[in-house]
Amino acid sequence: MAVYHDQMVVLKSRAYRDHDVILTLFGRTSGKVGAIAKGVRRPKSKLAGQVSPLTFSVVTLYHGRSSLDTVTEADLQRGFPRIADDLERLGWAMVLADVVDQLWPEREPSEESFVVLLSALDALHEGRAAASVGLAAGFRFLRIAGFSPDWDACGACQRPPQKGPVTVDLENGSVYCADCRAHTPAVAERISLGSLRSLQYWLKDHPNKYGQAEVKGSMKEELKRLFFRYVLHETARPLKSYEFLANVDRLSSGPEGGEKIDH
Ligand SMILES: [Zn+2]
C-alpha cells in the first residue's frame, strides 16, 4: 500500500455512484491505471477540472488492495482546450485514447507511448492536420505494441518496395512489393508507394513533428482504412470513437460526396 505520483493523461472517465468517477489513466512511469476519483461530481470539487478526459496532470494516487487506485490530488498541466473546438481533432484525440486503452494491459509502462500520446495531443491542440497527427501516432502505437509489419522490406523478396501498389498482409504482419503480388494474402489491404513512404517517415519522425507534413486525398483515405482495419484486427472489437470520427468525415464530405469511408 503506497502513495505515488505520476504524470498522467486521462484516457477515459465514467460516472460512478452519486458523486465519483472511475478514470482510466495513462502514466509516464506507471502505464495504464484504473482509478477512482471521489467527489469529483460535487459542485465544489477541487479535483473536477484536473481530471477531465483528454487532459494532462500530475496525479497523486493511493495504491491499496483494490484493483482501482484512488486519486488524492491532481495538478493540471495542460488541458488542450482547442481540441474540442474542432470535431475532427476531437475525434482523433478520442481514437488515440481508445487505442492506448485497448492495446496496453494495466500497469505495463511504456514511456515512448506516453510521449507519443502527449505530443499528439499537443499537435491537435495547436491545430495541426488532425488526420496526419492521428495516423502518425496511431501507427506508432501499433508498432510499439508489437502489431506492426516490417514496413521497410518486402516479406517475400526482402527488398525495399520500389513501386506500388504495396500489399499489406494483416494476418501475418508482412508487406509485399508489387513484384511479389502472387503472395496475396486473405486479410490484406493495398496501399500506394506514397502512402508507404508516409508511414515509414512517421515511424522515424520525432513525435513533436507530427502533423507538420499533411497527408491528403486518396493517401489519407487509404491510410485511415489500413489503420482502422489493423486496430480491429488486433483488438477484435471496434473502437467506439471510430463511429464518431466516421460521422465527422461524412458531415465534412458534404452532399457532393467527396471521399467516403466504407460502410
Ligand atoms: Zn518483393
Q: What is the mean pLDDT of the chain?
A: 92
CA of 168 to the centre of ligand 1 (A): 12
Which of residues 1 and 135 earns the better pLDDT score?
135
Q: What is the pLDDT of residues 8-53, one digit of tens each?
A: 999 999 999 999 999 999 999 999 999 999 999 998 998 988 999 9
How far apart, in whole angstroms, are the C-alpha atoms of residue 99 and residue 115? 15
- Identical topology for domains 2-79 and 82-253: no
CA of 51 to the centre of ligand 1 (A): 49
CA of 190 to the centre of ligand 1 (A): 14
CA of 154 to the centre of ligand 1 (A): 5
CA of 218 to the centre of ligand 1 (A): 24
Q: Which amino acid would we find at residue 240?
A: K
Q: Is the pLDDT of residue 224 over 90?
A: yes
Q: What is the pLDDT of residues 51-70, one digit of tens each?
A: 999 999 999 999 999 999 99
CA of 157 to the centre of ligand 1 (A): 4
On the question of a cis peptide bond just before residue 165, with omega within 30 degrees of 0, the verdict is: yes
CA of 138 to the centre of ligand 1 (A): 26
> If you ran DSSP here, which 8-state letter would residue 228 be given?
H
* 2-79 to CATH, choices 2.40.50.140, 3.40.640.10, 1.10.3660.10, 3.40.190.10: 2.40.50.140
CA of 31 to the centre of ligand 1 (A): 38
Q: What is the pLDDT of residue 255?
A: 56
Query: How distant, in Å, are the alpha carbons of 82, 152, 172, 180 from that of 169?
Result: 37, 14, 6, 12
CA of 11 to the centre of ligand 1 (A): 40
CA of 100 to the centre of ligand 1 (A): 32
Half-sphere exposure of residue 236: CA atoms within 13 angstroms, side-chain side: 1
Q: What is the pLDDT of residues 169-180, one digit of tens each?
A: 988 889 999 998
Once rounded to an integer, what is the mean pLDDT over residues 158-165?
93
CA of 183 to the centre of ligand 1 (A): 9
CA of 24 to the centre of ligand 1 (A): 42
Number of H helices, E strands in the chain: 6, 8
Helix (H, G, I), strand (E, B) or coil at 238: coil
CA of 170 to the centre of ligand 1 (A): 16
CA of 141 to the centre of ligand 1 (A): 26
How far apart, in whole angstroms, are the C-alpha atoms of residue 152 and residue 184? 18
CA of 122 to the centre of ligand 1 (A): 38
CA of 182 to the centre of ligand 1 (A): 10
CA of 153 to the centre of ligand 1 (A): 8
| CATH hierarchy code of domain 82-253 | 1.20.1440.120
**CA nearest to 164, candidates 151, 185, 178:** 178
**In the chain, where the domains are located:** 2-79, 82-253
